């Protein structure tokens, strides 16, 4: 049975200052006791969270320091990710830290581990289902050289922890999140502003499944409802497959800015995903990608919106 809301629960959200986790924590805090976990190097983010009713507890997954979190939490949402490009530190955080986090919360009713579609082996325009081959999707991006491998290793750890502790777990492979807090389309908006050419894969088009933060928030309770032992693995993205070329074209139509593209092999390939399992388990998304992009521009750069900026036809 799908759950549409969570109420009165104690919920731990790690990586809570991040783009994806912050709106999730703030939304859940309206009706739950939410404990937000991060290093909290950004005081402004901590202030926003505390103002929204989130209790902030510093943790350090690299060092394995999770002892300040409530061991009796009913649900844990792990959005934390280390991507420093230091292999030892990132493996300690994403693998060792995750194992200690799961052990600390082994009595939880549900554990959501946020993974990524960047775990899939690049295969051109293949549409990836959950059982397809994994690989180093980000090998061509030297500034994120630990990312895909760290995420694959973290999935293995989450699967192990589900069996080891009898901890109901769901591993959700997130596509391209975006919204008022940012995301890849927001990065492209900034590139349009400064006139930069946008890298796209030479095997065009570069297709993903952008998912608005409102849909992410709405789907969290439903994902927790399908947590199981062994762990449930599911793709997580917006219902519509959209290319970088298309969403940048839409941003150009909304703003009047020019979208210029630079085809290259030195960028990540398309990762279009099969959402059959997601639809069966937790339903679909509701925010149309064009409407979502308009809302993003309104929130981040309202001065850029054209008076007639209704977007592309």
For position 153, which CATH number holds?
Answer: 3.40.50.720
The answer, yes or no, to whether residue 313 has pLDDT greater than 70, is: no
Asked if the structure places residue 225 within a domain, the reply is yes
Determine the Cα–Cα distance for residues 170 and 278; give it in Å rounded to an integer: 12
Which residue(s) pair with 228 in the sheet? 169
Burial class (CB in 10 A: 0-12, 13-18, 19+), 45: middle
Asked if the structure places residue 294 within a domain, the reply is no
> pLDDT class for 307, splitting at 50, 70, 90?
confident
Q: What is the mean pLDDT of residues 49-60?
A: 98
Asked if the structure places residue 188 within a domain, the reply is no
Asked if the structure places residue 39 within a domain, the reply is yes
Determine the Cα–Cα distance for residues 122 and 39; give it in Å rounded to an integer: 33
Which is more confidently placed, 307 or 231? 231
Instruction: Give the pLDDT of residue 246.
Output: 98
Instruction: Give the pLDDT of residue 312.
Output: 46
Instruction: Give the pLDDT of residue 233.
Output: 98
Q: What are 169's two structure tokens?
A: 């777990």
Residue 300 contacts by C-beta under 8 Å, 6 or more apart in sequence? 180, 182, 186, 189
Rg (CA), the chain: 19
Asked if the structure places residue 300 within a domain, the reply is no
The answer, yes or no, to whether residue 20 has pLDDT greater than 80, is: yes
Instruction: Give the pLDDT of residue 1.
Output: 37
Longest dimension (CA), the chain: 57
Query: Which one, of 230, 276, 231, lies nearest residue 128 by Cα?
Result: 276
In percent, how much of the chain has pLDDT > 70?
A: 97
Asked if the structure places residue 111 within a domain, the reply is yes
Q: What is the mean pLDDT of residues 37-56?
A: 96
The answer, yes or no, to whether residue 310 has pLDDT greater than 70, is: no
Domain that residue 112 falls in? 10-181+210-239+274-279
The pLDDT tens digits for 156-215 are 999 999 999 999 999 999 999 999 999 999 999 999 999 999 999 999 999 999 999 999
Asked if the structure places residue 269 within a domain, the reply is no
Instruction: Give the pLDDT of residue 54.
Output: 98
The answer, yes or no, to whether residue 126 has pLDDT greater than 80, is: yes
Instruction: Give the pLDDT of residue 23.
Output: 97
Instruction: Give the pLDDT of residue 311.
Output: 53
Residue 101 contacts by C-beta under 8 Å, 6 or more apart in sequence? 14, 61, 66, 69, 76, 78
In percent, how much of the chain has pLDDT > 90?
A: 96
DSSP 8-state class, residue 34 = E
Instruction: Give the pLDDT of residue 4.
Output: 75
Asked if the structure places residue 310 within a domain, the reply is no
The pLDDT tens digits for 223-255 are 999 999 999 999 999 999 999 999 999 999 999
Q: Are 30 and 53 in contact (CB under 8 A)?
A: yes
Task: Compute CA 109 distance to the chain's CA centroid, rounded to the nearest angstrom.
Answer: 22
For residue 230, say if its preceding peptide bond is cis, omega within 30 degrees of 0: yes
How far is CA 58 from each of CA 55, 169, 204, 284, rounded to the nearest angstrom? 10, 24, 43, 34
User: How many domains, the chain?
Assistant: 1
Determine the Cα–Cα distance for residues 112 and 45; give it in Å rounded to an integer: 22
* Per-chain mean pLDDT for the chain: 96
Please say whether the dihedral angle defined by the alpha carbons of residues 237, 238, 242 and 245, taken in this order, is positive or negative. Answer: negative
Instruction: Give the pLDDT of residue 5.
Output: 81
């Amino acid at each position: 049975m799908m759950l549409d809301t969570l109420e009165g629960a104690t919920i731990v959200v790690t990586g809570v200052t991040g783009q994806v986790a912050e709106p999730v924590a703030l939304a859940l805090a309206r009706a739950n006791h939410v404990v937000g976990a991060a290093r909290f190097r950004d005081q402004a983010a901590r202030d926003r969270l505390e103002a929204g009713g989130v209790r902030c507890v510093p943790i350090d997954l690299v060092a394995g320091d999770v002892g300040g979190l409530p061991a009796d939490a009913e649900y844990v949402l792990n959005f934390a990710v280390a991507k420093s490009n230091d292999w030892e530190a990132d493996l300690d955080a994403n693998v060792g830290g995750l194992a200690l986090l799961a052990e600390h919360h082994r009595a939880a009713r549900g554990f959501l581990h946020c993974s990524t579609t960047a775990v899939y082996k690049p295969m051109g325009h293949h549409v990836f289902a959950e059982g397809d081959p994994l690989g180093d999707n980000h090998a061509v991006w030297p500034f994120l050289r630990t990312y895909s491998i760290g995420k694959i290793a973290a999935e293995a750890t989450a699967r192990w922890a589900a069996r080891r502790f009898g901890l109901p777990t769901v591993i959700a492979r997130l596509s391209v999140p975006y919204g008022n807090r940012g995301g890849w389309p927001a990065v492209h908006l900034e590139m349009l502003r400064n006139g930069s050419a946008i890298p796209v894969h030479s095997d065009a088009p570069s297709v993903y499944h952008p998912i608005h933060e409102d849909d992410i928030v709405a789907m969290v309770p439903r994902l927790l409802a399908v947590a199981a032992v062994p762990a449930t693995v599911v793709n997580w993205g917006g219902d519509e497959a959209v290319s970088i070329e298309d969403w940048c074209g839409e941003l150009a139509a909304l703003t009047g800015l020019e979208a210029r593209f630079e085809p290259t092999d030195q960028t990540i390939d398309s990762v279009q995903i099969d959402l059959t399992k997601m639809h069966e388990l937790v339903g679909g998304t509701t925010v149309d990608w064009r409407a979502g992009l308009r809302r993003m521009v309104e929130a981040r750069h309202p001065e850029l919106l054209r008076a007639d900026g209704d977007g592309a036809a």
